[in-house]
Structure 1
C-alpha cells in the first residue's frame, strides 16, 4: 500500500461519531473500487469522506485495519434467504442476489482487494473466510428443504451444491471478465441442479 501523503483538500465536514465512521467506511469502499488496495491512501479516503487524516488514525490504527473494517461492515448485513417452495426458484433468487451484490461498487472492491497483496493480510483473510462461511451457512436451508421435499437426492451436500452454484459466477467475475447478469445466474442454477441430480455432489 502506498505511503500517506498530505491531503490537498476535503469535502464537506461530516461531524463525529457514527456519521463520521459511516462516511469514512463508505469512502474507503469507493477508493478500493476505483484505485485498488495497493494505491489506496488514507489521505485520499480522508478527502473523499470530508475528514482530516488524523481523525482516521485516531479511529483506525492502520490503513489495513481500515480496509478490513470497511469490507466487514459493508458485507455484515443479513441476506434474505428465499423460500418459494421450489428449489429452482430459490436457487435462482440466491444466484441473482449474488450477481447483484458482486457487480456493485462494494462487490468489485471486495474482489479486487481479495486478489491483491492484501490477501497476505491475516485480518482480511479471516474476514473473507468468515464471510463465505456465513453466506453458505445462511443459504444451506434452501438445499436441505429441497432434499426433504424430494426435489434433490438424499445424499446431496448443501455446501457442495452452493459451491457449484457460485463457481460459474465467480469464474466470470475473477478470471474471464465476461458479462455477469441475471442470465449468468440462471445458467449457474441449471449447472448446479444438473450436478445434484447426477449425484456428483454427495455428502462426504
Structure 2
C-alpha cells in the first residue's frame, strides 16, 4: 500500500539520516501525546530529539509534514498481519492489536491528537487517511484468504470487513467512552466475521 520499503531520506540502514529521523519522530510522538498537534513546535521537537533546528526545518519544514511522516513511520512499524488459518482468528488478532494500541497511554493519546487535528487540517487528514489505507491493505488478505478457503462468499469486500472490525473500537475511544477492553475487541471481531459470513459485505453488482 505504498508505505513499505525504503524510507524517505534514508541513505543506508543504520545511517545518520535514519538515526536522526528516528529520534525526531520519537520526539514528535512524545510531544503530540503530551500536548496535541496545536502545541507541536518544530524547535521543541528538535530540542527533545537533540538535533539541530536547521535539520528539522530543512527535512520536514512544517508541523503537518512532520505529522505525516510520523504516521508513515507508524504504519511501517505496525505489527504484521496474523495468519491463524481462520477468519475469526485473524479478525480477532486484528481487533486485539487495534485495542491494545488505542489503550496504550502514549499511542492512544497520539491517535486522539492526530484525529482531532485531521478534522481541521487537510494535510493531517490526508496523512491519517494514508495511514489507515496502509493498515487496511495489510490486513485485507485475511479476508481474501477466507474467500479462497470457502469461508466467505466470492465478492466479499475485504476492506469493508477490516473496517468493520476497528470501527466499534474507535467509537468507544472517541465518542461513547465505553470500556475499550479485550472483550470489546473480541465482540467487534465476532460481529464482523458473522456479518461477513452472512454476506453483508458482498459487493453488489454495478
The yes-or-no answer on 1:56 pairing with 2:56 is yes
Give 1:123 shift: 2.9
Shift of 1:155: 4.3
Structure 2 vs 1, CA of residues 42 and 189 (structure 1 numbering), >3 Å: closer, same or farther? same
- How much has 1:51 moved relative to structure 2? 3.1
Q: How big is the alpha-carbon RMSD for the aligned residues of Structure 1 and Structure 2?
A: 2.2
1:37-186 equivalence runs, <5 A: 37-77=37-77, 79-104=79-104, 105-116=106-117, 118-186=118-186
SS in 1 for 2:77: coil
Report the number of matched residues: 188
SS at match of 2:51: coil
Cα deviation code 1:146-187 (max 9, x no counterpart): 122222234432122112111111111111233323212101
> Partners in 1 of 2:157 and 2:62 — Cα distance?
41
Contact 1:83 1:142 in 2 (8 A): yes
Q: Is the 8 A contact 1:29 1:71 kept in 2?
A: no
Instruction: Tell me, yes or no, if the aligned pair for 1:30 and 1:106 is still in contact at 8 Å.
Output: no
The structure that has the greater radius of gyration is: 1
In structure 2, the residue matched to 1:6 is none
Distance in 2 (alpha carbons) for counterparts of 1:25 and 1:68: 10
User: What is the TM-score of this pair, normalised by structure 1?
Assistant: 0.80
What displacement does 1:188 show? 0.4
CA deviation digits over 1:25-48, x for unaligned, max 9? 111011111100112222332332
1:103 CA displacement: 3.1
Structure 2, unaligned runs of 5 or more: 1-15
Asked whether the equivalents of residues 68 and 128 of structure 2 are also in contact (C-alpha less than 8 Å), the reply is no
DSSP-derived class of the 1:38 partner: helix
Cα–Cα, structure 1 residues 61 and 89, in superposed 2: closer, same or farther, change >3 Å?
A: same
Q: Distance in 1 between matches of 2:49 and 2:133?
A: 31
Cα distance between partner residues in 1 of 2:53 and 2:179? 37
Taking structure 2 as the reference length, the TM-score comes to: 0.79
Distance 1:21 1:149, change over 3 A: closer
Q: Which ranges in structure 1 are unaligned for 5 or more consecutive residues?
A: 1-15
Whole-angstrom distance in 2 between the partners of 1:24 and 1:73: 11
- What is the alpha-carbon distance in structure 1 between the residues aligned to residue 109 and residue 90 of structure 2? 25
Distance 1:58 1:190, change over 3 A: same
Partner residue of 1:7? none
Q: In the superposition, relative to structure 1, how do residues 191 and 57 fare at CA in structure 2: closer, same or farther (>3 Å)?
A: same
